[in-house]
A and B are shown apart, each in its own frame.
Chain A
Amino acid sequence: MSIDKQYLIDFETEVKERYEAGEIKAPVHLASNNEDELIEIFKGVDKDDWVFCSWRNHYHALLHGIPREKLMNLIVRGKSMSVYSKEPNFYSSSIVGGIIPIALGVAKSIKMKGGKNKVWCFVGDMTFESGIFHESYKYAKNFDLPLQFVVEDNNLSTNTPVDETWGGKQEVPSDIIYYKYKSDYPHHGTGNWVLF
């Protein structure tokens, strides 16, 4: 099934409404205004590839082929920050940087076993600036591992500006996919007061 921009927006809107109705009793991190970029990137992601991403992962999960109902069920059960799947392989974490060495290990294993699939690792711009990213990137690059990093830059980590706190930002290497966006949603929740 082909997923278009409106499909993604409608999904996230339903999560918003169910969260505001008090149906989801765990944090949700909603995305917006990066639909076009992700749809384009996922044209290169094979169904056998692994996808690793952060707490803001609903679009990635849908685009990698996790069925809508299964994903919504996970979210309603409080699993928005740790969406997972075996077929297709998908793993997310709500700790900054934590997925990166795990993705690196899967890529190393694939190469050691002569596999043809690939690992995609989506990180925010604060995570990109961290030491664990740079060590992992260096290792993956030097050993030519099948690991594609994608940096999703909203210049925020919760509400902390990345450029201000680092005093500047690193240049993104050309072999990393990079895009900027500005979400209409806050870091977590919907921006509206919810009575649980």
Chain B
Amino acid sequence: MKYKDEIIRSMEWLSEKDNTIFLGQSVSYSGNAIYNTLNTLPEEKRLELPVFEEIQMGMSTGMAMDGLVPISCFPRFDFFMRCMDALVNHLDKMQNMTEFTYRPKVIMRTSIGSTNPLNGGIQHTQDHTEAFKLMLKEVKVVLLDEPEDIFKEFERAYNRQGSTLLIEHGDHYNDK
């Protein structure tokens, strides 16, 4: 299967779980490539949010503390940067701070913006993967490079304790 099809298959598998919820911008309304990987899911599994990335990340953390597994979608890595406090100071430190009492499971999706056939420019195409691997202590960071890795990485993210950031390549939606 191709890259995008594997992502769709992973989302459909996650949507079959009773405790999952997909949230973010463009989960119910078109506007970003991420929508085209979610539009086969039941509407009641999707929660379209305003553009407030930091609050989205904190909300996802709180929902996970209460037992849900949010699949929190951020259409581009560049936009994802707006959630740094909620990610770095809270979600990523919660197991340490609470001595493993709270181990929220948030599955985060973001994407390195594509450069082909349209190049979104410097504010829409950054890849911060290595910086996040260095910065995050508890959140696992996974770059989704090959189609055959995608489903098993989302499966691992769902089955592991704690949270995972999965980074997609916008260009691979077309070239792999």
**25 pairs of residues in contact across A and B, judged by CB atoms under 8 Å:** A79-B97, A84-B98, A84-B99, A86-B101, A93-B89, A95-B89, A100-B55, A100-B58, A101-B57, A101-B58, A102-B59, A102-B61, A105-B61, A105-B62, A105-B63, A105-B64, A106-B63, A109-B62, A109-B67, A113-B66, A132-B55, A135-B55, A136-B55, A136-B58, A139-B55
A104-B55, A136-B55 known; A84+B63 contact, CB < 8 A? no
A136: chain B residues at CB < 8 Å are 55, 58
- Report how far A103 CA is from B60 CA in the complex, Å: 10
A113: chain B residues at CB < 8 Å are 66-67
A82-B98, A84-B97, A95-B89 known; A101+B66 contact, CB < 8 A? no
- Report how far A132 CA is from B82 CA in the complex, Å: 12
Q: Which residue of A82, A104, A110, A112 is within 8 Å of B58 (Cβ)?
A: A104
Does the CB pair B55–A109 fall under 8 Å?
A: no
Q: Which residue of B52, B90, B98 is within 8 Å of A102 (Cβ)?
A: B90
Determine whether B21 belongs to the interface, using a CB cutoff of 8 Å to chain A: yes
Q: Which residue of B68, B97, B98 is within 8 Å of A109 (Cβ)?
A: B68
Determine whether B50 belongs to the interface, using a CB cutoff of 8 Å to chain A: yes
- Give residues 47-82 of B contacting A (CB, 8 Å): 50, 52, 54-68, 70
| Chain B residues engaging chain A, CB cutoff 8 angstroms | 21, 50, 52, 54-68, 70, 85-86, 89-90, 97-99, 101-102
Determine whether A30 belongs to the interface, using a CB cutoff of 8 Å to chain B: no
Q: Which residue of B50, B52, B58 is within 8 Å of A105 (Cβ)?
A: B58
9 shortest A-B CB distances, which residue pairs?
A105-B62, A101-B58, A105-B59, A109-B66, A106-B62, A102-B62, A101-B55, A84-B98, A82-B97
